[in-house]
Amino acid sequence: MPVPYASLDLVAAAPAGGASAPLRDFLVDGRALLHRLDEVDGVDAVSPLAADLPPTVLAEHAERLLLADGTRRVIHSCPDCDDPGCGAVTAVVERSGDDVVWRDLAWQTGPTVDPARDVYPGIGPYRFHGPAYRAVLHRLRAEPPGVPAAGPTPGSRPGTAPAPASSLPLAPPRAA
């Protein structure tokens, strides 16, 4: 059975652990992903979308997620680096037709993930409508450095695709 569509957007997030820089987080179906992960298993991670990172780091992170080549990618990293070995939330990011799926979200602290031990139960998989997914990541790459996302794209709401940045088609509605 195919995975139902999820919406993806960016949202401003409060700095964690006394950090002074504003952060961005992924908004999945209207909820910040870090909040979902923290509810399952307290996560000491931040998004690599932190506003104080150089623009090249943000662009590299977005580019890796755009590849959607079936490899495990960092979604959130430790507060100090973008290294999975240091502790990161990762997911297998793959294409399914024109769509993109994040599956097997896990807490990774080494070169590999042990699915029995590290995968977050009940989190994902998330299937994103391809054009809307790419629009969010391209918007991230285009944001000026130091300016966090102001909030979800106007018109986005849980269970729907975010409002497109152009005339991209919206994802089909999610099954109830």
pLDDT digits (tens, 9 = 90+) for 58-104: 778 888 999 999 999 988 876 666 677 777 889 999 999 999 999 99
pLDDT value at residue 174: 33
Structural tokens at position 150: 């102001």
Query: What is d(CA 69, CA 85) in angstroms, rounded to the nearest whole number?
Result: 21
Sheet architecture: strand order including 88-96: 69-77, 88-96, 99-108, 126-128
Looking at residue 125, what is its pLDDT? 95
More confident residue, 150 or 141: 141
**pLDDT (tens digit, 9 = 90+) per residue, 108-137?**
888 899 888 889 888 999 999 999 999 999
pLDDT given at position 173: 32
Instruction: Supply the pTM of this predicted model.
Output: 0.74
Residue 13: predicted pLDDT: 67
101 in Cβ contact with 65 (< 8 Å): no
- Which pLDDT does position 5 carry in this prediction? 95
pLDDT confidence of residue 171:
34
**What pLDDT is recorded for position 92?**
96
**CA distance between the termini of the chain:** 15
Contact 4, 127 (CB under 8 A): yes
Strongest mean pLDDT among 22-26, 103-107, 143-147: 103-107
Q: Return the pLDDT at 24.
A: 76
| Band of pLDDT at residue 167, cut at 50, 70 and 90 | very low
